[in-house]
Structure 1
Amino acid sequence: MTWLVTGGAGYIGAHVVRALLDAELRAVVIDDLSSGHERFVPDDVPFVRGSILDGGLLLDVLDEHRITGVIHVAGFKYAGVSVQRPLHTYEQNVTGTAVLLGAMQERGVDRMVFSSSAAVYGTPDVDLVTEDTPKSPESPYGESKLIGEWLLRDQEVASGLRHTSLRYFNVVGSGDPSVYDTSPHNLFPLVFEALVAGRTPRINGDDYPTPDGTAVRDYLHVADLAISHVAAARRLDAGESVERAYNLGGGEGISVGQIMSTVREVTGIEFEPDIGPRRAGDPARIVASGELAARDLEWRMRHSLREMVESAWVARTAAH
C-alpha cells in the first residue's frame, strides 16, 4: 500500500510521513512549499513539488506511484488570517480538496484520511467537546474544514469513498529534532522566538474563569497525532469500519499559564509573560474528548507537557 501525503513537507505532514515509515507503509509527498520545507521530507521518500489545485499533476502522481490512499494534510491553516483572506482560504482548502477528490475518483483511489480541525466547532458551550457537539465555525478556515468534511461525505455516496476526518486543536512538540513548527502564528514558536531574541513573550488575557486565569486548551504532541493518522489509514486499508470523524483530544486541557511555567523550567530562561487583553471571541476553555479515537485509532496522550515543550525546544535549537 502506498499513501500520498498532501502537505507532507509541513510540520504535521512530515511527522505523518515518518509514522507511515515506522509502520512499514510506503509514502509519497506532494507539497507546494508555501509553508513546508523540502528538508523535512526523508531522503528515501519521493517528493513532488506542486499544488493540489493542479489536477493534471495529481493524476500523474497517482499513476506514477500507484497510490492506494491519501492522507490529506495540505491546507491554509491560519484561522485568524483566513478572516482577511477568505477567498484564498476557500481556494486552498475547498477547491483544492475538490480537485484532489476528483483525481482520486478518476483513478479509482478510494480511501482518504482528512486532516480536519476543531475549528469546525467554533466556541462550543460545553465543558467537553464530542464528535456530536454542534458545528458552528467562526472563521473561513473553520468553515473550509467543515466543507471539506461535507465533500468527503458526498463522495462516499457518489463513488464509495472510504474516509474519516480527524479534528484536533493545538499541535506542539517534535518527534524528530529535524522537524519543528515554523508557523508565525502558533504559541510555541512565538514564545521561543521571543525568548531567543531577548524579548518577553506575550499572552492574551489572565482573567478567565479558569484555575490560573489563563485560557485552557488541548495541546497534543505531534508524534501522537501522526500515529493516529496512520492507524486510520491502516483501518481503511483493512476495510475495517471507521467513524466519519474523530476528535483527537486530551480530555483535560492545559492552560497557557502552565505552558509558560514549563517553558521557564525547560529553557532555564526566567521571564514573566506580558499580559495583553483577551482576544475577541476566545473562550475560557475548549477541551475535546478523545474517547472514540482511543477506541479505534490508537489515540492516547503519550507525552507529558514537559516532554512536549522539551522536544519542541530541542528541535528549535537544533535547527538554529
Structure 2
Amino acid sequence: MAVLVTGGAGYIGSHAVAALQERGEQIVIADNLQQGHKASLLGGKLYIGDLRDADFMDTVFKENTIDAVIHFAANSLVGESMKDPGKYYHNNVYGTLCLLEKMNQYGVKKIVFSSTAATYGEPENVPIDEHDRTFPTNAYGETKLAMEKMMKWFDTAHDIKFISLRYFNAAGAHAGGQIGEDHDPETHLIPVVLQVALGQRPHISVFGEDYATEDGTCVRDYIHVSDLADAHVLAVEKLRQGGESAVYNLGNGTGFSVKQVIDAARQVTGKEIHAVVEARRAGDPAVLVASSARARKELGWNPSRSKLEDIIGSAWAWHQANPGGYND
C-alpha cells in the first residue's frame, strides 16, 4: 500500500516524502511542478500533472494501490490571493474537490491535509487553540477553510476520514542537506534574511517596529520543516489505526519576533545583515502563535528541532550549498 503525496515536490511536501522514505513507505507523488522541484525528491514515484485533470488522476490511482493521501498541492501566497482570488479558488478548492471525488471513486478513505493557521484570521487568543473561531482575513485562508469544510462533508457522506494540520511558518532544511526552501518569488522571512547574508539582497525590510510586543516587531510561529513532516506522517498513522477526523494546530507555543530572527541569522551566518525599518503592512497582526498541545497529546508529536538557531542553521547550510536554489 502506498501514500499519495500531492504537491510532494514542493518545500514541505518534499520533506514529507523524505520522512516517509525514512520509514520505508511506498510513496506516490502527484505534482504539476508549478512550484515544485524534481531535484527535491529523495524517493517515491513521481507523476507530473494536475489534480484537476481527471485522466491524469485516473492514471495515478489505477497504477498504484493507495491507502492514504497527504494533500499539500495548493497556491499559498497571501498577497497574490487578494489580487487573484479566482486562481486560489480554482486551484485550491476545485483541485481538492477533484481529489476527494477520485479518492471516493477508488475507495481511498484517509487524507491528511496541509492547512494553515490563517484560517483563524485575527487571533482571539494567544496562543491560538483549535476551538477558536475561524474568520480568515485573506482569500488564501478562506480557501483553506473551504477545503476543510469540504472534507467534513465527504466524511459525512462517504466516510473519508481526514486530519487537518494548521500551522504558520515552516522553516529550515533537511538534516541530510539535500533539500531546502526554494520559492520564486521568495516571500518567507528566514530565506529572505539568508539571501541578504549571501549578498543577493541589499537589506531585509522590517515592516513596523511599534507593535505591542517585547521588541516592537511582529511575532510569528516558526517550526522546522522536518518536524512538520513528522506530524503529517503521524497523522497518517492515526488514521490507519482507525482515528476519527480531526483538526490539529502545529506550533511552537511562543513564537519569535522579526528582530529575533534577524539577530539569530547574524549569529549563525556571521554576516552583518543590514535591516531597514519600513511602514507597517496592512493586516499584519502583532502576534500569531499556535498551541500544539492537542497534537502533542493525541498524535504523539514531539518536535525536536525547535531552537531558532538550529532552524536557521539548517537553512543556512542548504542555501550556502545551493545559492541559486535547485537550478532546475
Shorter-chain TM band = over 0.9
C-alpha separation in 1, matches of 2:283 and 2:89:
22
Would you say the 8 A contact 2:208–2:277 is kept in 1?
Answer: yes
- Corresponding pairs, count: 318
State yes or no: 1:142 paired with 2:141.
yes
Aligned to 2:88: 89
C-alpha separation in 2, matches of 1:202 and 1:284:
16
Amino acid at match of 2:76: K
Q: What is the TM-score with the length of structure 2 in the denominator?
A: 0.94
C-alpha separation in 2, matches of 1:319 and 1:65:
34
Listed as ranges, the gaps of 5+ residues in structure 1 are none
State yes or no: 1:30 paired with 2:3.
no
Amino acid at match of 2:33: L
The Cα of 1:257 is off from its aligned counterpart by: 0.8
Aligned to 1:223: 226
Q: Secondary structure at the match of 1:9?
A: coil
The Cα of 1:35 is off from its aligned counterpart by: 0.5
Deviations 1:148-188 (A, max 9, x none): 00110000011011111000001100124221112211112
Would you say the 8 A contact 2:16–2:232 is kept in 1?
Answer: yes
Map of 1:124-135 to 2, 5 A cutoff?
124-135=123-134
Q: Secondary structure at the match of 1:68?
A: strand
Q: Secondary structure at the match of 2:304?
A: coil
C-alpha separation in 2, matches of 1:110 and 1:308:
35
Deviations 1:262-301 (A, max 9, x none): 1001111113410111111111111111001001223233
C-alpha separation in 2, matches of 1:79 and 1:230:
26
Deviations 1:58-115 (A, max 9, x none): 1210120111111001100111110011000111100000000000100001100011
Aligned to 1:169: 168
Amino acid at match of 2:280: R
Aligned to 1:309: 312
Map of 1:1-320 to 2, 5 A cutoff?
1-42=1-42, 44-175=43-174, 176-183=176-183, 184-196=186-198, 197=200, 199-239=202-242, 241-242=243-244, 244-303=246-305, 304-320=307-323
C-alpha separation in 2, matches of 1:139 and 1:127:
20
Stretch moving more, 256-265 or 186-195: 186-195
Amino acid at match of 1:39: A
C-alpha separation in 1, matches of 2:101 and 2:201:
49
Aligned to 2:326: none
C-alpha separation in 2, matches of 1:204 and 1:243:
38
Amino acid at match of 1:68: D
Distance change in 2, residues 1:198/1:253 (3 Å)? closer
Distance change in 2, residues 1:203/1:300 (3 Å)? farther
Would you say the 8 A contact 2:249–2:294 is kept in 1?
Answer: yes
Would you say the 8 A contact 1:178–1:318 is kept in 2?
Answer: no
Stretch moving more, 159-168 or 269-278: 269-278
C-alpha separation in 2, matches of 1:70 and 1:243:
14
Deviating above 6 A after TM superposition, structure 1's stretches of 4 or more consecutive aligned residues are: none
C-alpha RMSD of the superposition: 1.2
Would you say the 8 A contact 2:197–2:272 is kept in 1?
Answer: no
Q: What is the TM-score with the length of structure 1 in the denominator?
A: 0.97
**Percent sequence identity over aligned pairs:** 39
C-alpha separation in 1, matches of 2:267 and 2:84:
38
Amino acid at match of 1:23: R
C-alpha separation in 1, matches of 2:179 and 2:278:
30
The Cα of 1:198 is off from its aligned counterpart by: 5.4
The Cα of 1:194 is off from its aligned counterpart by: 2.8
Stretch moving more, 269-278 or 306-315: 269-278
Would you say the 8 A contact 2:113–2:164 is kept in 1?
Answer: yes
